[in-house]
Amino acid sequence: MSGRTVIAIKNTQASLSESLSKPPTSDGFSISRKINGFLEWFGGLGMFAWAVLRAGITPPYEWRELIRQFDNIGSMSFPLVALAGAAIGVVISMEARYSLSRFGAKSMFPATLVYSVIQVMGPIMTGLIVSGRVGAGIGAELASMKVSEQIDAIEASAVNPYKFLAATRILACILMLPLLTLAADASGLIAGWFAQNLVEPLSFQQFINSGFHGATFNEFLPPTFKTAVYGLIIGTIACFQGMRTRGGAEGVGRAATNSVVLASLFVILADVVLVKFILMVFP
């Protein structure tokens, strides 16, 4: 038997013994690890939310940082939200005019546009746009601070990072989302009326009177203020993903991506639950 054959046999025996010594892997173990990771993520999110709540309600309060976040989250998002609202209004106007004209119900156009924008498209569109812009910004900002040890330096300076960094951003998201939703709704209604007016003249006063005829606050306030829940979701997830980042520049990019994806997903799921809740409370 040649030397090469002996070496080949020994290598084969070594690879077999190594494969036999490894623990067996199966889909069951993989699924269990994913479930454990999923539950650990939710547990960490819950503990993070409790820490932020406890730090946020304890004086002194970071008013200056909160005002700065109002400007960063509210004012900076206004042009994008208004533009998206106008686009949604124009699309709904064209689709509603075509559909209603087929059934001879063109007189229902103002009410259809008003209810579609304010109750359905305005809130969810605002939540998704803010989750994309603000969620990615908060996630990337806090993640870069985490990997560069700036958060550790803030904590070493006797400043609570949960109060200074997380609570202010979450509260700003909660308070700014309803205001941005009102801006998107107004922009959508004006743009929808303008698109209709180009095809068939309709005075703005007549459009408003017909659109809001018989409407009550119970029909329009809940869809607007439910976006405060969207703000809570976006701010909490973005801050959580940013402040738990590891892995340098790669971790920063991963935190920004996960913030947008998870915030958008949970906003959509929250919309399903909140719509059902609103229909039960305000039938």
How does residue 8 score in pLDDT terms, banded at 50, 70 and 90? very low
Burial of 13 (0-12, 13-18, 19+ CB in 10 A): exposed
CA angle 38, 165, 252 (to 5 degrees): 55
* Domain span holding position 254: 41-281
Counting residues of the chain whose pLDDT is more than 70, the rounded percentage is 89
Q: Which residue has the higher pLDDT, 241 or 249?
A: 241
Query: Which residue is associated with the tokens 């924008």?
Result: 117
Q: Is residue 273 part of a domain?
A: yes
Q: Is residue 16 part of a domain?
A: no
Average pLDDT over residues 136-140: 92
Average pLDDT over residues 75-101: 90
Q: Is residue 13 part of a domain?
A: no
Query: Is residue 162 within 8 Å of residue 110, measured between CB atoms?
Result: no
- Euclidean distance between CA atoms 98 and 12, whole angstroms: 73
Q: Is residue 237 part of a domain?
A: yes
What does the mean pLDDT of the chain come to?
85
Q: Is residue 90 part of a domain?
A: yes
Residue 21 has pLDDT above 60, yes or no: no
Burial of 114 (0-12, 13-18, 19+ CB in 10 A): buried
Residue 197 has pLDDT above 60, yes or no: yes
Query: Which residue is associated with the tokens 């005019």?
Result: 97
Please state, as a whole number, how many other Cβ atoms lie within 10 Å of the Cβ of residue 77.
22
Query: How many separate domains does the chain show?
Result: 1
